[in-house]
């Protein structure tokens, strides 16, 4: 029942906002709908804590320990981002960058995007998961080009074509999985249901599944932003409105990785070898190293943090690729804390860019003088994402690197060098942006920075103490993923 | 009789591949759209034959869906778009056409080799056409890479979806109906969004040539 609510609220929200998006209360309605989704996901979480995993509606939807925390996280970040977007979009409108019709499109698509993300997480059907991932691209492509500047149109086109082609590969992978599953489960309804596939995964044809995994990894990997398929990601993050950057980094990348990991479970079962893990480790390591070096050459603040997202997604892919209880646990923890931290950073960066009227880092100065909350938000967020203790990112990175040292020692120098380069680049840039002298004026609307500190508070909390049920989910999911 | 229908489906598969090559060599946008509609028609008819021989009734619905979506609605939208945008000029390719064709042949050989082990396992009447499906996906991909204008790139994208659909019918007698409906919805919505998008690009750049859109690069 809760599952239905979680999906129905954003869908209705999208339709309502398409109708009433021109009204003055549209941003509030957007937040209210997102809050409703969040409440529904909270009820679902409580249900899962008491009753355990479940399926719904003829097994079309399911919740287990792997997707429950992602559902809660997605609904939560979507809600806080909608709070942030309220003053942010008002200021953009005040600056004359957006018309009222663009805002209507934005609000409606925002809700529909949330819907596609939650559908991709909750559906039990691999085909529907693909449909939802493709729909996520479709809902966000017009948001990336919202400002109609030449650069934003180029970014949106690149995003559409690259992700479209990528996701077509994933469809081919899904067809191959269905082809293998149909031999065991019979044609028709159940052969694409993940819970059924999981039961018979050892009987699936290994050659077909290994080919399918290559297509699925390349396809969904494009959306995760894995190198060398990452080209769309920095452009889409830098040119779209900041709330969109925040949800792309915080939600879309996670959900795409979720799709890859779900496929990995089936392939591992069918092959009984470490092929899927090795492929993921390779792509992951390449992304971490490549992103770290591109990161140090960036001039645009949102581009820099977009590359940081590629780096962290690479690290998670690497962790899931290594497998084993500790690395998988760390991968899931990293998914959680990265999503919270990165969206918090984008909130702070968004307001900073509005205040100074530029995204170029060399022209952003002295944030702490004009608006201490933006300055501190950015400073603390940066420290958190760089993996400083006692934040949660430190805990997950520590676990990933110690496992790598233990199981794959040759990867350690690459990982440490990449993390070091990223640290030096981001930390140096952050200092000049936060401190220093400035003559900028404060913003016309007070910025909403409560979400920043709530997110960072949660990341700090997860670094010090992980609630027992969350740790249980991570452990159970790690046992499932292997 | 079974064998006769098998041959017939293979014939349609060959036609599909031929049309994919035709699209690769076609310079004019209007003819490209007509070729795309023809590909949809071949796909729909071959799906109908697969449905008839295998007694899979849901494939009739897929065939009808393909007919409506890919032969009628999408080409109609594309025709309207290019009339409104007034783009009927010749398509420039980035690599010359004979070279593209040669690369295309290499791709077909590659696709057949890749599909060979899987085709052996397929119990369906259409198993030999899996290679063709994969080849037409790769050819559409090649077409997207070699075209510098927005409309042909999109036609390449849609043709790729045709190839994938053919792979689904030829290897597995089609995906479950709910998934197929979802995919069709995505394609349709995607087309609408692209339509809006074309106008935005034209308004900003005064042309649909993607050469204007090469500003975002790492330096």
Q: What pLDDT does A445 receive?
A: 80
Sign of CA dihedral A413, A419, A423, A424: positive
Beta strands in A241-337 (DSSP E): none
Q: What pLDDT does B145 receive?
A: 86
Residue of chain B whose Cα is closest to the Cα of A179: B172
What token pair was written down for A162?
């690259």
Is A189–B182 a contact, with Cβ atoms under 8 angstroms apart? no
Does position A156 have pLDDT exceeding 80, yes or no? yes
User: Is residue A67 within 8 Å of A476, Cβ to Cβ?
Assistant: no
In 3D space, the residue among A309, A311, A317, A389 whose CA is nearest the CA of residue A349 turns out to be: A309
Residue A61 CA from chain centroid, whole number = 21
Q: What is the mean pLDDT of residues B58-67?
A: 91
Is B176–A142 a contact, with Cβ atoms under 8 angstroms apart? no
According to DSSP, the residues that pair with A56 across neighbouring strands are A61
What token pair was written down for B156?
């390449």
Q: What pLDDT does A187 receive?
A: 74
Q: How far is B53 from chain A (nearest CA, A)?
A: 16
Q: What pLDDT does B83 receive?
A: 87
Is A142–B201 a contact, with Cβ atoms under 8 angstroms apart? no
Measured between alpha carbons, how far is A322 from A328 in angstroms, rounded to an integer? Answer: 8
Is A187–B173 a contact, with Cβ atoms under 8 angstroms apart? yes
Residue of chain A whose Cα is closest to the Cα of B201: A153
Q: What pLDDT does B168 receive?
A: 86
Is B118–A211 a contact, with Cβ atoms under 8 angstroms apart? yes
Is A125–B114 a contact, with Cβ atoms under 8 angstroms apart? no
Residues A229-285: pLDDT tens digits?
A: 999 999 999 999 999 999 999 999 999 999 999 999 999 999 988 999 999 999 999
Chain A residues with CB-CB distance to B205 below 8 A: 150, 153
According to DSSP, the residues that pair with A163 across neighbouring strands are none
Is A135–B176 a contact, with Cβ atoms under 8 angstroms apart? no
Q: What pLDDT does A317 receive?
A: 97
> CA A176 → CA A274, A421, B79, B172, distances in Å?
20, 40, 34, 9
In a mutational test of the B interface, the residue from A138, A167, A204, A229 whose CB has the highest number of chain B CBs within 10 Å is A138
What token pair was written down for A328?
């998988």
Is A172–B167 a contact, with Cβ atoms under 8 angstroms apart? yes
Measured between alpha carbons, how far is A471 from A331 in angstroms, rounded to an integer? Answer: 13
Is B176–A205 a contact, with Cβ atoms under 8 angstroms apart? no
Nearest to B186 among A135, A149, A174 (CB): A135
Residues A332-352: pLDDT tens digits?
A: 999 999 999 999 999 999 999
Cis bond upstream, residue A185 (ω within 30): no
According to DSSP, the residues that pair with A54 across neighbouring strands are A63
3-class state of residue B190 by DSSP: helix
Q: What is the mean pLDDT of residues A59-64?
A: 92
In 3D space, the residue among B58, B9, B65, B69 whose CA is nearest the CA of residue B174 turns out to be: B58
User: Is residue A356 within 8 Å of A364, Cβ to Cβ?
Assistant: yes
Greater model confidence, B179 or A42: A42
Does position B214 have pLDDT exceeding 80, yes or no? no
Tokens 């779209």 locate to A240
Q: What is the mean pLDDT of residues B134-153?
A: 88
User: Is residue B36 within 8 Å of B23, Cβ to Cβ?
Assistant: yes
Q: What pLDDT does B88 receive?
A: 64
Q: How far is A301 from chain B (nearest CA, A)?
A: 14
Q: How far is B157 from chain A (nearest CA, A)?
A: 7
Measured between alpha carbons, how far is B81 from B194 in angstroms, rounded to an integer? Answer: 10
Chain B residues with CB-CB distance to A294 below 8 A: 218
The CA angle B172-B177-B178, to the nearest 5 degrees, is 125
User: Is residue B48 within 8 Å of B60, Cβ to Cβ?
Assistant: yes
Q: What's the whole-model pTM score?
A: 0.95
Measured between alpha carbons, how far is B35 from B31 in angstroms, rounded to an integer? Answer: 6
What token pair was written down for B26?
């076609």
In 3D space, the residue among A269, A331, A321, A328 whose CA is nearest the CA of residue A478 turns out to be: A328
User: Is residue A357 within 8 Å of A426, Cβ to Cβ?
Assistant: no
Q: How far is B122 from chain A (nearest CA, A)?
A: 8
Q: What is the mean pLDDT of residues A195-202?
A: 93
**3-state SS record for A1-16:** CHHHHHHHHHHHHHHH
Question: Chain A window 102-141: which residues touch B at a Cβ cutoff of 8 Å?
Answer: 125, 127-128, 130-131, 134-135, 138, 141
Percentage above 70 pLDDT, chain A: 100
Measured between alpha carbons, how far is B26 from B6 in angstroms, rounded to an integer? Answer: 30
Chain A residues with CB-CB distance to B212 below 8 A: 150
Residues B70-124: pLDDT tens digits?
A: 999 999 999 998 888 877 666 666 678 888 999 999 999 999 888 888 877 776 6
Residue of chain A whose Cα is closest to the Cα of B195: A142
Q: How confident is the model at residue B209 (pLDDT cuts 50, 70, 90)?
A: confident
In 3D space, the residue among A227, A180, A236 whose CA is nearest the CA of residue A208 turns out to be: A180
Is B122–A179 a contact, with Cβ atoms under 8 angstroms apart? yes
Q: How far is A106 from chain B (nearest CA, A)?
A: 14
> What 8-state DSSP symbol labels residue B89?
S
Measured between alpha carbons, how far is A49 from A72 in angstroms, rounded to an integer? Answer: 12
Contacting residues for A73 by C-beta, under 8 A, at least 6 apart: A254, A335, A336, A339, A340
Is A131–B183 a contact, with Cβ atoms under 8 angstroms apart? yes
What's the number of CA atoms in the CB half-sphere (13 Å) around residue A203? 12
Q: What pLDDT does A336 receive?
A: 97
Question: What does the DSSP assignment read for A313-344?
Answer: HHHHHHHHHH-SHHHHHHHHHHHHHHHHHHHH
Residues A78-107: pLDDT tens digits?
A: 999 999 999 999 999 999 999 999 999 999
Measured between alpha carbons, how far is A84 from A315 in angstroms, rounded to an integer? Answer: 28
Residue A396 CA from chain centroid, whole number = 16
Question: Chain A window 40-79: which residues touch B at a Cβ cutoff of 8 Å?
Answer: none
Chain B residues with CB-CB distance to A125 below 8 A: 176, 178-179
Measured between alpha carbons, how far is A316 from A311 in angstroms, rounded to an integer? Answer: 9
In a mutational test of the A interface, the residue from B172, B173, B217 whose CB has the highest number of chain A CBs within 10 Å is B172
Residue of chain A whose Cα is closest to the Cα of B153: A161
Q: What pLDDT does B158 receive?
A: 92
Measured between alpha carbons, how far is A459 from A339 in angstroms, rounded to an integer? Answer: 10
User: Is residue A171 within 8 Å of B163, Cβ to Cβ?
Assistant: no
User: Rg (Cα) of chain A, in Å, rounded?
Assistant: 21
Is A168–B137 a contact, with Cβ atoms under 8 angstroms apart? yes
Chain B residues with CB-CB distance to A158 below 8 A: 213, 216
> CA A35 → CA A21, A29, A42, distances in Å?
17, 10, 10
Cis bond upstream, residue A228 (ω within 30): yes
User: Is residue B108 within 8 Å of B17, Cβ to Cβ?
Assistant: yes
Q: What pLDDT does B127 receive?
A: 66
User: Is residue A141 within 8 Å of A160, Cβ to Cβ?
Assistant: yes
Q: What pLDDT does B89 receive?
A: 64
ipTM of model: 0.92
A145/B contact by beta carbon, under 8 A: yes
Q: How far is B17 from chain A (nearest CA, A)?
A: 18
In 3D space, the residue among A134, A139, A408, A125 whose CA is nearest the CA of residue A256 turns out to be: A134
Sign of CA dihedral A454, A352, A390, A412: positive
Nearest to A294 among B190, B205, B218 (CB): B218
Chain A residues with CB-CB distance to B201 below 8 A: 153, 157
What token pair was written down for A292?
């770290």
Is A172–B212 a contact, with Cβ atoms under 8 angstroms apart? no
3-class state of residue A125 by DSSP: strand
Residue of chain A whose Cα is closest to the Cα of B219: A297
Does position A320 have pLDDT exceeding 90, yes or no? yes
Is A211–B153 a contact, with Cβ atoms under 8 angstroms apart? no
User: Rg (Cα) of chain B, in Å, rounded?
Assistant: 18
The CA angle A41-A42-A48, to the nearest 5 degrees, is 85
Is B203–A148 a contact, with Cβ atoms under 8 angstroms apart? yes
Is B182–A142 a contact, with Cβ atoms under 8 angstroms apart? no
Residue A213 CA from chain centroid, whole number = 21
Q: What pLDDT does A182 receive?
A: 87
Q: What pLDDT does B123 receive?
A: 67
What's the number of CA atoms in the CB half-sphere (13 Å) around residue A285? 20
What token pair was written down for A192?
């694409």
Give backbone dihedrals phi and psi of B147, rounded to 5 degrees, phi first. Answer: -100, 140
User: Is residue A115 within 8 Å of A11, Cβ to Cβ?
Assistant: yes
Is B216–A125 a contact, with Cβ atoms under 8 angstroms apart? no
Residues A427-448: pLDDT tens digits?
A: 999 999 998 887 777 777 888 7
Residues B148-199: pLDDT tens digits?
A: 788 888 899 999 999 999 988 877 778 888 888 999 999 999 998 888 888 8
Does position B219 have pLDDT exceeding 80, yes or no? no
Q: What pLDDT does A478 receive?
A: 94
């Amino acid at each position: 029942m809760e599952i239905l609510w979680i999906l129905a609220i954003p869908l209705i929200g999208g339709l309502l906002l398409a109708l009433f998006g021109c009204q003055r209360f549209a941003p509030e309605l957007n937040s209210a709908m997102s809050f409703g989704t969040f409440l529904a996901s909270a009820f679902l979480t409580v249900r899962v804590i008491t009753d355990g995993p479940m399926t719904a509606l003829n097994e079309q939807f399911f919740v287990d320990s792997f997707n429950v925390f992602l559902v809660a996280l997605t609904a939560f970040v979507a809600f806080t981002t909608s709070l942030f977007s309220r003053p942010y979009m008002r200021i953009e409108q005040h600056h004359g960058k957006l018309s009222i019709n663009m805002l209507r499109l934005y609000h409606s698509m925002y809700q529909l995007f949330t819907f596609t993300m939650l559908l991709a997480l909750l559906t039990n059907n691999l085909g529907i998961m693909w449909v939802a991932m493709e729909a996520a691209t479709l809902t966000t492509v017009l948001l990336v080009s919202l400002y109609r500047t030449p650069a934003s149109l180029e970014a949106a086109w690149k995003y559409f074509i690259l992700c479209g082609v990528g996701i077509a590969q994933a469809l081919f992978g899904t067809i191959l999985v269905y082809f293998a599953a149909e031999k065991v489960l019979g044609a028709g309804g159940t052969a694409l249901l993940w819970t059924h596939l999981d039961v018979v995964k050892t009987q699936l044809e290994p050659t077909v599944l290994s080919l399918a995994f290559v297509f699925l990894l390349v396809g969904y990997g494009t959306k995760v932003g894995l190198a060398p398929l990452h080209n769309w990601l920095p452009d889409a993050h830098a040119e779209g409105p900041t709330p969109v950057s925040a949800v792309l980094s915080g939600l879309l990348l996670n959900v795409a990785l979720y799709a890859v990991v779900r496929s990995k479970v089936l392939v591992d079962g069918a092959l009984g070898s470490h092929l899927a893990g090795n492929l993921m480790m390779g792509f992951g390591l390449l992304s971490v190293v490549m992103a770290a070096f591109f990161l140090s050459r960036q001039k645009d603040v949102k581009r820099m943090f977009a590359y940081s997202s590629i780096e962290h997604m690479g690290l998670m892919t690497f962790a899931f690729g290594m497998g084993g209880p500790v690395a998988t646990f760390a991968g899931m923890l990293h998914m959680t804390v990265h999503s919270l931290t990165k969206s918090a950073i984008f909130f702070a960066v968004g307001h900073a860019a509005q205040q100074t009227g530029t995204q170029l880092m060399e022209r952003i100065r002295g944030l702490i003088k004009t608006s201490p909350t933006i300055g501190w938000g950015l400073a603390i967020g940066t420290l958190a994402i760089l993996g400083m203790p006692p934040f949660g990112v430190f805990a997950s990175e520590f676990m990933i690197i110690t496992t790598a040292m233990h199981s794959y020692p040759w990867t350690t120098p690459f990982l440490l060098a990449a993390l070091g380069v990223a640290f030096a680049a981001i930390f140096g840039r952050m200092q000049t942006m936060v401190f220093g002298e400035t003559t900028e004026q404060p913003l016309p609307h007070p910025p909403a920075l409560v979400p920043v500190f709530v997110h960072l508070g949660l990341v700090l909390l997860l670094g010090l103490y992980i609630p027992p049920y969350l740790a249980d989910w991570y452990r159970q999911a790690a046992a499932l993923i292997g | 009789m079974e064998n006769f229908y098998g041959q017939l489906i293979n014939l349609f598969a060959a036609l599909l591949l031929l049309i994919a090559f035709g699209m690769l060599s076609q310079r004019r946008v209007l003819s490209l759209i007509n070729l795309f509609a023809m590909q949809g028609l071949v796909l729909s008819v071959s799906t109908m034959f697969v449905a008839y021989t295998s007694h899979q009734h849901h494939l009739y619905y897929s065939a009808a869906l393909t007919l409506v979506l890919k032969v009628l609605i999408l080409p109609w939208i594309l025709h309207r778009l290019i009339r409104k945008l007034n783009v009927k000029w010749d398509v420039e390719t980035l690599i010359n056409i004979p070279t593209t064709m040669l690369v295309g042949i290499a791709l077909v050989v590659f696709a057949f080799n890749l599909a060979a082990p899987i085709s052996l396992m397929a119990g369906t009447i259409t198993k030999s056409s899996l290679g063709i499906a994969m080849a037409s996906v790769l050819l559409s991909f090649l077409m997207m890479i070699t075209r510098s204008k927005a409309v042909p790139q999109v036609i390449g994208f849609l043709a790729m979806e045709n190839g994938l659909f053919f792979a689904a019918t030829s290897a597995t007698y089609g995906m479950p109906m709910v998934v197929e409906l979802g995919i069709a919805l995505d394609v349709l919505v995607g087309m609408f969004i692209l339509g809006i998008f074309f106008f935005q690009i034209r308004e900003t750049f005064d042309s649909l040539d993607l050469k204007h859109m090469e500003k975002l690069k790492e330096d």
